[in-house]
Amino acid sequence: MVALRFKAVDHPSDTGIIAFGKSRKEIFENAAYGMFSQMADLNTVTPDQTLAVKVDADDPDELLVNWLNELLFIEETRKLLCKEFKIKKLTDKLLEAEVAGEEIDPERHTLYSGIKAVTYNQLQIKADQAIIVFDV
C-alpha cells in the first residue's frame, strides 16, 4: 500500500493541502508534489527535464515557503510542470534539491487553477505533516 502523500483541504478563499511524511525531507517533497497536483494532473507529466534548486531561510517555516515559492517561480518563468522532487540536503535553514518535470503543453496536460503564492496563513510544520495554504 502506498502511503498518502498529501490531501487537499478546504479554505474559504484560497486552497490548501496537508503534506504527510515520515521525515521533514519527505514532508517537503510531498508538499511540492501536492502543490503541483493542485495545478495540473501529474499523471500526464513526463519528467524529462531536471533542475537543481537551492533555497535558504532563517527557519524551517520560511524554508518551506521559500522552497514552494521557488518552484512556483520555476513553473511561471520556465513553464515547467514539476512532478518529481528529490531533496539532497535539508537543514533548518538550507534546502538543496533536484526536481524533474516537463514543459507545459496545454494539448497534453490537464491544467487546473494556478497558484499565485505560498502563504504563511495557517502554516504549520509538525513531525509527520505540514499544513500549507496557497493564494490562488
Assign 3 a pLDDT band (cuts: 50, 70, 90).
confident
Residue 1 predicted with pLDDT over 70: no
Q: pLDDT of 48-87, one tens digit each?
A: 999 999 999 999 999 999 999 999 999 999 999 999 999 9
Alpha carbon distance 61, 79 (integer Å): 26
User: Tell me, what's the pLDDT at 13?
Assistant: 79
The structural domains of the chain, ordered by start, are 6-135 (3.55.10.10)
Q: How far is CA 56 from CA 6, 10, 44, 105, 133, in A?
A: 24, 29, 31, 31, 20
Cβ–Cβ < 8 Å for 132, 118: yes
pLDDT band at 5 (very low <50, low <70, confident <90, very high): very high
Contact 45, 102 (CB under 8 A): yes
Sequence-distant (≥ 6) Cβ neighbours of residue 108 within 8 angstroms: 44
Contacts of 26 (CB under 8 A, 6+ apart): 20
- Number of C-alpha atoms within 13 angstroms, CB side, residue 59? 5
Confidence of residue 2 (pLDDT cuts 50, 70, 90): low
Comparing CA positions, the residue from 87, 81, 76 lying closest to residue 101 is: 81
- For the segment 85-97, what is each residue's pLDDT rounded down to a tens digit? 999 999 999 999 9
